[in-house]
Structure 1
Amino acid sequence: MGTAVSNIAESCTPNTTLDLSFDEAFAEELSYTNADRIIITIVNPCILAVGLLGNLAFLFMMVRVRRMWTVTNIYLTNLAIADTSFLVIAVSEKIARYRASPVSGDQAIMGPGGCISVYVLLDVAYSVGLCLVTLVTVEKYYAICRPIQHRLVGGMKRTKRLVLVVWVIAWVFGLTLLPCWSNFVGFCTTWPETEAFSNHPQVIGFCQPEAAWLIDVHNGVQTVPFFVCLIVNAVLYILIIKRLNTRVGVVNDDHSTGQQRKNLRQKVRNQVARMLIVNGVLYFTLMAPFQCTSFAFVISNSTGNYVLEPEQVTKLQWVNRTLFYLNPAINPYIYFITNPKYRQAYVQAFTFRRPKRRARSATVMDEMSTYIP
């Protein structure tokens, strides 16, 4: 990656074609602001630390507690892997660029290889996450609303095949969008001859598309599937919650079942409904601002009407990006907070306890858990 920048630097002369000269006012605009520094050096690393702790703890729990290897948790395990990859790459890339250059947006440290690898891996991780969240919802819908069909066509083999298909599709998606970022362009720079710019680099670089219109293609290809999945998930969540309400309403008050069975049904319904609502609302709420902004950019570029100033766009992007990063960081904590089975599994995994023999009175909850992922 450094070779390309070095080659450009060797060819830099006052008459170089790709030469950029900045006056002092514009040069200051290209520098990182205090808000940028706080987000890059404090906020993002904190999000990364929280995300790594939660996702790695979830993966450790899955390795340690074999009873947690359900169909849903196969999806969530792969989601944790994708989320961890996304956070590490996205946050590390920002920190590396900040430490390498005082120029905001300078991607010279990445070079051609970095432009290809970083953006492909980010697109793959994003696609895997979106597909797996939707698959979890579909799985829950069939398990709760169509239990007979779920038992006939469900199973671990089918789940593993679907997960493999998701990863393959995500890689095809990422490689297809490769031309959107693969063109690394370096510029020779001339900075104001003042102390403030004495450490600014001779060469700055940017990952650019092979053609300008590819930026809109990239934004559109990301946002359209997101909104489709948003609608699908919202509809399925409504159907699931309605079905759970119906099941709880049809409670047998016969003495053989008793009040305990009715209470257990109510408890399970509330747990599942809470987990569905929290997962769905937080996931799509945190990602929606970024995707809506991306779609707005596509419309603005096609019409030529720009509502916001460049400085406002930069601030909006930082806010949206931070919310975007929060999403993969908090997923494991949602499972822990909303579902007691996950809390019990975490305790078992980190205290290295063996699971207790379950009393016969617990069989009612076990029976209900067979159709609740």
Structure 2
Amino acid sequence: MGNISNPTNTNPQCNLSVDFYYYGSLNRTDLNCTPPSDFNADLYVVLPVIYSIICAVGLTGNTAVIYVILKAPKMKTVTNMFILNLAIADDLFTLVLPINIAEHLLHYWPFGEVLCKIILSIDHYNIFSSIYFLTVMSIDRYLVVLATVRSKRMPYRTYRAAKIVSLCVWVLVILIVVPFTVFAGVYISPEDSARKSCVLSFPSPEGSWFKASRIYTLILGFAIPVSTICILYTMMLYKLRNMRLNSNAKALDKAKKKVTVMVFIVLAVCLFCWTPFHLSTIVALTTDLRITPLLIGISYFITSLSYANSCLNPFLYAFLDDSFRKAFKKMLECRTA
């Protein structure tokens, strides 16, 4: 999806300011000029293929994660409750990718105002939900390490409590995304009434509103949660180091170590996929960029990379979590028996 900011500008030098890129796709109405036709043709073919692969792999993998966690009794743990909600968020996003693909192929939005608001809202849920559930998982890992160092039990750390925390995360994300839902709408080109785009359409001055929305996303969707996670893991490593050097307490058992490592790797992959998107926010806010085929290609690569995060997590669980792998294998054996 894109954002409208002076769409009727016909600057022949093809300058782009902060509105050159926004989450989703780079709509034609966002451009002040048209890139080379052969470049457009390549994008027209390549992007639907990439999005379709992400959709198919993500939908299959995350559905499998949801199924295994819900059906296997041994998978009902606190960490897996957060993983379940992460998989639901990723599945929800991959379900709407075909609509994004259709818009890209048609070069206009044919689905109406209501669906536009729903799709753009889900797009933004994807920005916030993954990092917030990973933040909660990091807090949980820190509390587990802290309790282990102090040789204390955690009676409040229950599956039921994890459900309540997960619900709170969903409510928080919904509240954060409400402004985007309000401003989402169908933009009709003044030159061609049949040319419609599903965009964030801000009131005047559009540029200021757009910058505010980018800063809002950068702070709430990246700066605050990532800073929290970094502080937690720094403190966690510090306590583990001190435990080995200065304490006779038992080290984390093998299972807890594996879960902590898995959460850390899932977090690292998430940051790898999303950091370029948020860095593009900083670039868009601080520079005026001249549009080139390379710049458009980079913007689509950044979008595809952020989309790809929704299909990578199931593979990480399969490689890093023995209990998930065993539960999934057992269910396959039951299905084929």
Q: Give the alignment's TM-score, normalised by structure 2.
A: 0.77
CA, structure 1 residues 37+276, in 2 after alignment: closer, same or farther (shift >3 Å)? same
Give 1:297's aligned residue: 284
- In the TM superposition, residue 279 of structure 1 has moved relative to its aligned partner by 1.6
- In the TM superposition, residue 249 of structure 1 has moved relative to its aligned partner by 6.5
CA, structure 1 residues 346+241, in 2 after alignment: closer, same or farther (shift >3 Å)? farther
- In the TM superposition, residue 72 of structure 1 has moved relative to its aligned partner by 1.0
CA, structure 1 residues 325+150, in 2 after alignment: closer, same or farther (shift >3 Å)? farther
Question: Is 2:215 the counterpart of 1:220?
Answer: yes
- In the TM superposition, residue 97 of structure 1 has moved relative to its aligned partner by 1.1
Give 1:199's aligned residue: none
Q: Give the alignment's TM-score, normalised by structure 1.
A: 0.70
Q: SS of the residue aligned with 1:182?
A: strand
CA, structure 1 residues 243+332, in 2 after alignment: closer, same or farther (shift >3 Å)? farther
Q: Which structure would you say has the larger RCO, counting Cα contacts within 8 Å and 6 or more residues apart?
A: 2
Give 1:55's aligned residue: 62
The one-letter code sitting in structure 2 at the alignment partner of 1:181 is: A
Give 1:209's aligned residue: 201
CA, structure 1 residues 62+173, in 2 after alignment: closer, same or farther (shift >3 Å)? same
Question: Is 2:275 the counterpart of 1:288?
Answer: yes
Give 1:95's aligned residue: 101
Kept in 2, the 8 Å contact 1:237–1:276? The answer is no
- In the TM superposition, residue 230 of structure 1 has moved relative to its aligned partner by 1.5
CA, structure 1 residues 234+55, in 2 after alignment: closer, same or farther (shift >3 Å)? same
Distance 2:153 2:213 in 1: 36
Distance 2:260 2:77 in 1: 19
Out of 170, 173, 176, the residue aligned to residue 176 of structure 2 is: 173
Distance 1:237 1:333 in 2: 23
Structure 2 unmatched ranges of 5 or more? 1-7, 11-32
Distance 2:239 2:188 in 1: 55
Kept in 2, the 8 Å contact 1:132–1:166? The answer is yes
Aligned length: 299
Mark the structure with the bigger radius of gyration: 1
Give 1:322's aligned residue: 304
CA, structure 1 residues 187+110, in 2 after alignment: closer, same or farther (shift >3 Å)? farther
Identity %: 17
Give 1:238's aligned residue: 234
- In the TM superposition, residue 157 of structure 1 has moved relative to its aligned partner by 2.9
The one-letter code sitting in structure 2 at the alignment partner of 1:224 is: I
Structure 1 unmatched ranges of 5 or more? 1-17, 21-25, 102-106, 190-201, 253-260, 301-305, 354-373
- In the TM superposition, residue 51 of structure 1 has moved relative to its aligned partner by 1.0
CA, structure 1 residues 81+151, in 2 after alignment: closer, same or farther (shift >3 Å)? same
Please give the root-mean-square deviation of Cα atoms over the aligned residues, in Å: 3.2
Out of 271, 275, 300, the residue aligned to residue 262 of structure 2 is: 275
- In the TM superposition, residue 124 of structure 1 has moved relative to its aligned partner by 2.5
Give 2:21's aligned residue: none
Q: SS of the residue aligned with 2:154?
A: helix
- In the TM superposition, residue 127 of structure 1 has moved relative to its aligned partner by 2.1
Q: SS of the residue aligned with 2:117?
A: helix
Distance 1:47 1:222 in 2: 24
**Residues 111-190 of structure 1 aligned to structure 2 (within 5 Å):** 111-147=112-148, 151-182=154-185, 184-189=187-192
Distance 2:115 2:36 in 1: 25
Distance 1:108 1:269 in 2: 48
